Amino acid sequence: MKSGRFIAAAAALCIGIPAAAEGMTAMATPPIDRKNIIAGDANLDQVFNLADIVLFQRWLKGDKGLFTPYNEPCPGADVNNDGKFDVFDLVGMRKLLVNAIVSAPEPEVKTTASNMCTGVQRSPGLTGIAMSGGDSDKDFVDSQTAFALDLFKATYSENKGKNDLVSPYSVSQALGMTANGAEGQTLEEMEKVLGSGMPIETLNRYFRGQRERTINTSDWAKWSFSTANSIWARDDRNRIQVLPTFIQNCVDYYDSEFYIAPFDDTTIEDVNNWVNSKTNGMIPEILKRIDPNDDMYLVNAVAFEAQWSESYEKNMISNGRFTAADGTIQEAEMLSSSEIYISDENTVGFAKDYIGRKYSFAALLPDEDTPIDKYIEELTPVKLNALLKSYGSSFEMASVKLPKFSYEYSNKLNNELSAMGMPTAFSDYADFSGMSAIAYKNPLKIGYVIHKTFIDLDENGTKAAAATLVAMQEKSMPVKPEKEIVLDRPFVYCIFDTETDIPLFMGVLNSLS
């Protein structure tokens, strides 16, 4: 983008609307340390960001009660050092933001769109909730297990007899960002679906904490779980003016990037390149065309790659057969090993660790007289959680044969999410007034949610990826194996966090082809 247009876009982002800064007023705390003043820091929170620009503009327009007890901005707002607070300082703040953007390191993914969040810092003092899976996190863990199963069931109900794979984690990250722009009934429904009624302020902290748990800080464990979030807004201020408060929340809690884009063929290429890069090439495309009504995309990308803690040797791989859901007999490469046995009244299965033991793979095989469709229909969060938890306390081993498999899956989640309890977000009654400054005349709704996943499981480990796009539109001691499990017919599986037992990927294998 030409530099003039770039600066104009950056400045446009920062044009404040009185409603934009609700809840963002900051209390200046005397005395002011004038030796450590940060240029542009109007509210004395030791960081210069969008909040300072919005608050300062409101003060210039006459809202003099913003900066107590001084009743005026803090000295950092005097950007040009002329001893006055005026519109020239506002212009200086905008230039500071542009300079921060253009002087920042090159982003990982090169785009023709402008990343307006490169120079925007997280607000100070904000932390994610570091989960341990204990009693204090029970409400969140229970809500995420329920969300995972509800989403899996909803997608499978329209996909019976076929392979299915969803990443509840990816969908919740994308919808979590989106919910920060929702108000009223729209927000209430989204909070209920995403967190069983937990307020978005709390969910933000949990989702940030959950994302931070996926970062591998080990020098030896060969696994990676990367998460990336981005927002793409149409470069047309007559259609959408993204509120600084919304962007700041997405930066603070979702590490989101924010792009201003023309919403033409270059944007399709940019979004797809971004997703392809963030999923390590496993999902090369999520967007095929841009609907003329599309004004914003909220995109999440997840990539999981991990080796088994105990890999399969050559002599542990043999030829076998798999009976598909339609009765077809298929040739299969079976991986044989001895694994931890898990079971309940109509389930036999196993759990196998990935290296580092932070994540595990679990397979759940229903009794032979229980069809896979019926098993999924009757699966409950309590039942699923009990099976996954039993992995940590089971000392029984089983001889397991698991087929190698690889497939991709895609779905538009409008119907499923509406049925799960958030129909208003997709309707003309949607309220996303917390997202755009001109929502009063150009109201937004969720036009569609695209979800794509990929999995490849073999003797070395597992690769899995997910991408979710929300389109906003104008409206132990082992013992000898005693059991035998042969996964030669349809079964449910998941990849879960071993500390919280929250499923991060969940699927069903109905066919190898």
3-state secondary structure of 84: coil
Secondary structure of 261-320 in HEC code, one letter for each residue: ECCCHHHHHHHHHHHHHHCCCCCCCCCCCCCCCEEEEEEEEEEEEEEECCCCCHHHEEEE
Question: In angstroms, rounded to a whole number, what is the distance separating the alpha carbons of residues 468 and 446?
Answer: 13
Are the C-beta atoms of residues 469 and 268 closer than 8 Å to each other? no
3-state DSSP assignment of residue 47 = coil
User: How many residues in total does the chain contain?
Assistant: 513
Contact by Cβ (8 Å): 155, 413:
yes
Amino acid at 339: E
How far, in Å, CA of 174 to CA of 391, rounded?
30
For 201, list phi and psi in degrees, rounded to 5: -60, -40
CB under 8 Å to 388, separation ≥6 — which residues? Answer: 342, 351, 362, 494, 496, 501, 503
Beta-bridged to residue 342, according to DSSP, are 349
Q: Tokens 């969300």 identify what position?
A: 147
- Is residue 13 within 8 A of residue 242, CB to CB? The reply is yes
The answer to whether the CB of 152 falls within 8 A of the CB of 168 is: yes
The Cα 260–Cα 230 span in angstroms is 11
Residues 32, 44: Cα–Cα separation, whole Å? 8
- Find residue 473's DSSP bridge partners: 294, 445
DSSP H helical segments within 121-160, as ranges? 138-157
HEC string for 375-419: HHHHCCHHHHHHHHHHCCCCCCEEEEEEECEEEEEEEECHHHHHH
Q: How far apart are CA 489 and CA 322, in angstroms?
A: 6
| CB-based contact 402:487 (threshold 8 Å) | yes
Measured between alpha carbons, how far is 138 from 128 in angstroms, rounded to an integer?
Answer: 16
Q: Per the structure block, which two tokens stand in for 415? A: 């119907």
The count of other CB atoms within 10 Å of the CB of residue 500 is 21
Bridge partners (DSSP) listed for residue 259: 115, 232
Burial of 21 (0-12, 13-18, 19+ CB in 10 A): buried
DSSP secondary structure of 452-484? EEEEEE-SSEEEEEEEEEEEEEE--------EE
- Cα dist from 418 to 178, 192, 235, 425, 427, whole Å: 15, 12, 29, 8, 10
How many C-beta atoms lie closer than 10 Å to residue 458's C-beta? 16
Cβ neighbours for 412, distance < 8 A, ≥ 6 positions apart: 448, 449, 450, 451
CA–CA separation, 394 and 293 (whole Å): 53
Query: What is the spatial distance between Cα 42 and Cα 38, in angstroms, rounded to a whole number?
Result: 9
pLDDT at position 80 is: 78
Which helix H or strand E contains 50, and what residues bound it?
Answer: helix 50-60
pLDDT average per 10 residues of sequence, the chain (513 residues): 40 38 41 66 73 76 65 79 80 68 53 73 78 81 95 93 96 97 97 96 94 81 88 93 90 92 95 95 96 96 94 94 94 95 93 92 94 95 92 86 95 96 96 93 95 96 97 70 83 89 92 88
Q: How far apart are the first and last CA of the chain?
A: 45
